[in-house]
Amino acid sequence: MSVYTELNLQDMQDFTKQFDFGNLKSFQGVEAGVENTTYLVSFDRAETVLQIFEEQGFDEIPFFIELNRRLSEDLVPVATPLANRSGDRLFTIKGKPAALFQRIQGSTISPISVEACGQIGEALGKMHAATQRYIDLKRENHRWNQWWEGNVKRVIDLVPEEHRSTLKQQIIRSREFVDVSVSLPQGIIHGDLFCDNALFHDGQLAGIIDFYNACDGCLLFDLAVTINDWCSTPTGVLDADKTTALFSRYHALRPLTAEEIPHWPRATETAAFRFWMLRLVALARKREGGPKAPPHVKDPNDFLVILVARHADPQCDLISA
């Protein structure tokens, strides 16, 4: 989230007059993130977030809008996409797709508590139980095995020399998981449910945000992505109390099947590997420069540490029915 598309007062008044939320009170650009333009927009009767999509086209955004609309109806805590008087939720601002969302009142939580892990597990379980029914919503996973295998040469020199063999071996191990994952329970996955994509208010989960990596996928993989981020210690191993809290409240709403549990080791490895590769590719893009180069990149080795820990012990005892 950032401000790439500048809007003045007249621009914002022209846009907001189509909604029934009263007069425009104020608006402010959000200087954070690297992908979309974001404004906080206050009306007399509503606090909202305007997002102008800088990367995705008009053909992609309806998926995200409809996903959030349905999740909101199914009582999953997400930002509700707001309609104008005509019922439209997709808009055009300066030639780019845009959407207006209900503003979630809250902030990210730190340090991560056992209770917060339990709440995020419950929300993810509710989300997965719901999205298994959204059989008409489709979006391909663009950052799956073909993507990471295609970027190996681009990033290999950024990998610590002693771990280049780790990357090459993990390509094979993750390919095995990709092959079997299609036979495991599927649905729409968040794909990036990290701590910074959940907002809390007074100790309670207020909402999950940033669904722009959402796609069709393996639910076990999405659970692994979430547990890796919320429950890993600085040494990469899983905190037993946090993992148990997250998994048990997830499992109560979307029970893992007997077929899924044996594949936990490869699922959690692949989740760590994907985000190791994502950060390596971001680092390569920064090195290559250009107008779309990310201004800052998080340390890829955070996920190398997790991957090495999962190789040593996937802690399957914490993921059991």
Q: Say how far apart CA 17 and CA 41 lie, in whole Å.
A: 12
Looking at residue 34, its pLDDT comes to 56
Looking at residue 100, its pLDDT comes to 98
Q: Say how far apart CA 224 and CA 256 lie, in whole Å.
A: 12
Q: Say how far apart CA 229 and CA 168 lie, in whole Å.
A: 23
Looking at residue 298, its pLDDT comes to 92
Q: Say how far apart CA 41 and CA 26 lie, in whole Å.
A: 6
Looking at residue 238, its pLDDT comes to 98
Looking at residue 56, its pLDDT comes to 87
DSSP H helix total and E strand total for the chain? 10, 9
Looking at residue 66, its pLDDT comes to 97
Query: In order of start, what are the domains of the chain with their CATH numbers?
Result: 9-102 (3.30.200.20), 114-318 (3.90.1200.10)
Looking at residue 89, its pLDDT comes to 97
Q: Residue 142 is encoded by which pair of tokens?
A: 């663009």
pTM of the model: 0.94
Contacts of 210 (CB under 8 A, 6+ apart): 192, 197
Cβ(267)–Cβ(218) below 8 Å = yes
Instruction: Give me the residues paired with residue 42 across strands.
Output: 26, 47
What is the strand order of the sheet 47-52 is part of?
A: 24-29, 37-43, 47-52, 96-102, 91-93
Question: How many Cα atoms occupy the beta-carbon half-sphere of 241 within 13 Å?
Answer: 5
**Burial readout 268-293 (b: 16 or more C-beta within 10 A, e: otherwise):** bbbbbbbbbbbbbbbbbbeeeeeeee
pLDDT in tens, the chain (321 residues): 468 899 999 999 999 999 999 999 999 998 765 578 999 999 999 999 999 998 889 999 999 999 999 999 999 999 999 999 999 999 999 999 999 999 999 999 999 999 999 999 999 999 999 999 999 999 999 999 999 999 999 999 999 999 999 999 999 999 999 999 999 999 999 999 999 999 999 999 999 999 989 999 999 999 999 999 999 999 999 999 999 999 999 999 999 999 999 999 999 999 999 999 999 999 999 999 887 778 788 999 999 999 999 999 999 999 876
Angle at which helix 114-131 crosses helix 61-73, to 10 degrees, equals 110
Comparing C-alpha atoms, which of 193, 166, 145 is closest to residue 305? 166
3-state helix vs strand vs coil in the chain, percent to 5: 45, 15, 40
